[in-house]
Structure 1
């Protein structure tokens, strides 16, 4: 069942790895996408500016949703590089690349050098992984913090020294402090399945694994302490419209099981088949090898044919089923097990016979060409700035890809997919998203204010009596001056008592202020669109105007 093919030439492999790193790095300087990315960036900004690494605050209030670890890392990055886009995204990219390295070494424990090379390149180029390195949330961090513990624990199972238990437990603790209790499923499910299918079930009785569990929760104690100090010690705080809210209970139950059963304070709409079709586009251009690879491993289990390891299947399928049954689902959830999916897809491709490999090279090339045609079509429809340069660069990458990878070998198959994803990432992050960001109203308004000395240092009231979000968070992050969230007229009256206060809000809210007796002087209008939910009408430059709604910067007096 193992492959005996020769590895990819080292020079080609490193060239493709560099291309993979570059295509993921194209999003480092693209402005932070609303709403979640901008919200998380603001939380870390507050942490860095106040020096308070215990309490999490958002929209001027105590915030209880995600654990602390990514905010700690981002705040430290701000202290090093300053509060900017690069500092927010760079540590996430480093964690993702660390996950690629761990994936490579994990594969080498059971498979050939070639399989490790292909798996690394698949992980570097899976579409939603690339997307998440631009729209940064918790997933790039978890790419390392899930595959890392699995690697160390598997090393222990294979006979490595005890310090791998400590390293695995430390990374597990960091994963718990990033996403919560359910990260134990992708970390542990694959190992348990491997032990059961290889007749090593007695591993479940060994003390070392219980030590690993205890150590993992010991390393989670900083999170528990912060939650206890911010919430459990203060039952009077109003969180989710309630008092007596326990941060520790939320961490262990409501944030995980509450979302799974849709009984917690944060609810969603679950669809049992959501990730079946989501994974088809999220893991492009490797979804078909993944699905067939999973089928091959399952068939081997049914036929009792031994495979090198079952961890990838166990972790990948268990997490897939867990999220599919959950009442709260988002496309990026499965990114955390992309390393295991990369292993399964790579194992399938590496074991192809020459005739099948030629067919798969053609099939994957068709997928790559369709992606290129799609992105070029989008460029024509969107009409971004520097469109000529974008089309010329697309042509250059496409031609170079087919010149260098003309054959029907595995190297050519992988090289063509790397080229297609390089083209896709460059077009998205260097041309399309910079155009879309013109309609992130908070970013545009913050730049406008920063460029005017008489406004740059003034406080801005972010006014939203019903809700905040959308562009208020990007404004808070990018503006140089102070901001204050205002929910009712009495606070706004105090701010506007001595002199006018500049207010950033929607056009509707601004009109409502005027109707309630405030003196409102328009300063500037900024068109807004929810960029993370693109539509055909917005993409089309001819109909884009009809999809926009106005945000305004106004001066308000009593």
Structure 2
């Protein structure tokens, strides 16, 4: 089956990838961050106020507003829907894929331009980031688009690319502070140093870029000033990234200096091993050539990546999704590795990596079918058909004789399509049914409970409860309850809270409970239906009144 190996049919790979992403649009929102961000944007939308930024009842002084603004605008256009929250992420991912395509073509060869974008779109963390949506998808698209446009300026000296690059850099800043800006600047710095293009730095057009960048971040600075005064402006211009680097205000979560390097093995699945080999292969060529400019070696991608990885490895607060904005550059570089190995006639090396593909197919296929048939309830006929069709296409393509670099690319892409058809159409929808807040929201709707009578007790927040009731449910303390004369409903995650309320002379007139599990903390006992109940808990909605 050579269908997908023909250049004219490359568009069908994109169509299959689009199906995977489209399915992910309708997955329930995942606690904590994704649902939390969706609810924070919902508050902006419901209050018609983009400048008052809250997490629950508390002012939110952390990430900038851009991701939340885009979600709130999407709600305004399409309503409070899961897919509306995710739509900006999808659009910026498409922008990232287009940018990756063009940079791959310009840095390496037009024959592999699609390699870069296909690698990017099928990297597991990028697929995940488009249904478990946080700030990273918008940041990733903005960063690689900015790098592409600044690179175009370096090639052509035209003004428009430098303006577009500066605007995109402003969006990156407005999404996650200076982290995205640093990735852009270090990538360009590595490229300029490697190519000795120092004259570009001293062009008057650089001043245009600074002015445009400043103008593009002005709305964010104004938003911080409106809510927090000059302290807010100081925070986003300096303290935010310093606080994360030093874990000030955060729990230090990883002293491991190699954390990001080994996290890449799954974040950049299934491309990480090829990328790491390529890193040594390309640098070896450069060193052998006396550190001079070498054919097939570029530093716009890998130079910026290495600088950033070294810097963030010293941070005391580390999370795997911090790597997402590097994935487009990693994808371009990995496409270049495939191209160079083929041009250099390294067929034996390519065969080794084709062997990795066979291994991943075996392992991930077994894992996917175990998930499909041995974790939750029997999948629907449609899910089974989609999974089997994608698996059959993969196998038929895998056994076809073809140029090895093409086989590595096409079969890895088809493998990730198969895996994520299973995950997006079956596993995540079933898993997320164990989110207690979402289940309570369904019961509230079924029983037609007045949402205005419901409160979150103490700090038992549930972002999925807020989103699926389409209300920022107020929080209430025990002291505040004493001042309420009528019956009210309280949501809590703790059974002890109910007993404590009884001791404080409150009568429980009705109790509703739902199964609950922290879905981001998966373990084998939960995945095994026979032992699942030992790992799940309960959440409660209780109706209370004072004793007379």
Instruction: Check whether TM > 0.5.
Output: yes
Does 1:432 pair with 2:422?
A: no
Separation in 2, partners of 1:311, 1:481: 46
1:185 is aligned to 182
1:312 is aligned to 301
Separation in 1, partners of 2:508, 2:279: 61
Q: How does 1:25-44 map to 2 (within 5 A)?
A: 25-44=22-41
2:531 is aligned to 543
TM-score (ref. length: structure 1)? 0.91
Does 1:485 pair with 2:499?
A: no
Q: Conserved in 2, the CA contact under 8 Å of 1:285 and 1:368?
A: no
| Counterpart selection for 2:489 from 498, 502, 511 | 502
1:18–1:500 Cα change, 3 Å: same
1:373 is aligned to 366
| Counterpart selection for 2:284 from 299, 323, 326 | 299
Does 1:517 pair with 2:534?
A: no
The ranges of structure 1 where at least 4 consecutive aligned residues each deviate by more than 6 angstroms after the TM superposition are none
1:117 is aligned to 114
Q: Conserved in 2, the CA contact under 8 Å of 1:501 and 1:557?
A: yes
Separation in 1, partners of 2:377, 2:423: 11
Return 5+ residue gaps in structure 1 as ranges.
1-6, 234-245
1:56–1:482 Cα change, 3 Å: closer
Which piece of structure 1 moves more, 357-366 or 42-51?
357-366
Does 1:259 pair with 2:244?
A: yes
Separation in 2, partners of 1:200, 1:104: 24
Separation in 2, partners of 1:299, 1:514: 71
SS in 2 for 1:524: strand
Q: Conserved in 2, the CA contact under 8 Å of 1:523 and 1:553?
A: yes
Q: Conserved in 2, the CA contact under 8 Å of 1:30 and 1:85?
A: yes
SS in 2 for 1:553: strand
| Counterpart selection for 2:264 from 259, 271, 279 | 279
SS in 2 for 1:26: helix
Separation in 2, partners of 1:266, 1:223: 27
Q: How does 1:206-285 map to 2 (within 5 A)?
A: 206-232=203-229, 246-264=231-249, 267-285=252-270
CA drift of 1:136 comes to: 0.4
Separation in 1, partners of 2:353, 2:417: 20
Separation in 2, partners of 1:359, 1:30: 37
Separation in 1, partners of 2:109, 2:85: 36
Return 5+ residue gaps in structure 2 as ranges.
none
1:412–1:516 Cα change, 3 Å: same
| Counterpart selection for 2:55 from 58, 63, 81 | 58
2:406 is aligned to 411
1:242 is aligned to none
SS in 2 for 1:109: helix
CA drift of 1:511 comes to: 2.4
| Aligned residue-pair number | 532
Q: Conserved in 2, the CA contact under 8 Å of 1:20 and 1:124?
A: yes
Separation in 2, partners of 1:250, 1:222: 15
Does 1:444 pair with 2:433?
A: no
Separation in 2, partners of 1:274, 1:355: 31
Q: Conserved in 2, the CA contact under 8 Å of 1:69 and 1:177?
A: yes
CA drift of 1:449 comes to: 0.6
Separation in 1, partners of 2:388, 2:359: 17
1:143–1:123 Cα change, 3 Å: same
SS in 1 for 2:156: coil
1:243 is aligned to none
Which piece of structure 1 moves more, 312-321 or 204-213?
204-213
Does 1:289 pair with 2:274?
A: yes
Separation in 2, partners of 1:25, 1:299: 41
Q: Conserved in 1, the CA contact under 8 Å of 2:142 and 2:171?
A: yes
Deviations 1:323-350 (Å, cap 9, x if unpaired)?
A: 2111111111101110110011111112
Q: How does 1:446-465 map to 2 (within 5 A)?
A: 446-453=441-448, 455-464=449-458
Separation in 2, partners of 1:418, 1:521: 56
1:47–1:418 Cα change, 3 Å: same
Separation in 1, partners of 2:211, 2:282: 33
Separation in 1, partners of 2:386, 2:191: 46
SS in 1 for 2:452: coil
Deviations 1:139-164 (Å, cap 9, x if unpaired)?
A: 11112110011111111111241121
Q: Conserved in 2, the CA contact under 8 Å of 1:45 and 1:83?
A: yes
CA drift of 1:176 comes to: 0.3
SS in 1 for 2:26: coil
Which piece of structure 1 moves more, 355-364 or 114-123?
355-364
2:173 is aligned to 176
1:459–1:266 Cα change, 3 Å: farther
1:267–1:213 Cα change, 3 Å: farther
Does 1:422 pair with 2:411?
A: no
Q: How does 1:378-389 map to 2 (within 5 A)?
A: 378-386=371-379
The CA RMSD measured in Å over matched residues stands at 2.0
Separation in 2, partners of 1:320, 1:203: 26
TM-score (ref. length: structure 2)? 0.92
Separation in 2, partners of 1:187, 1:8: 34
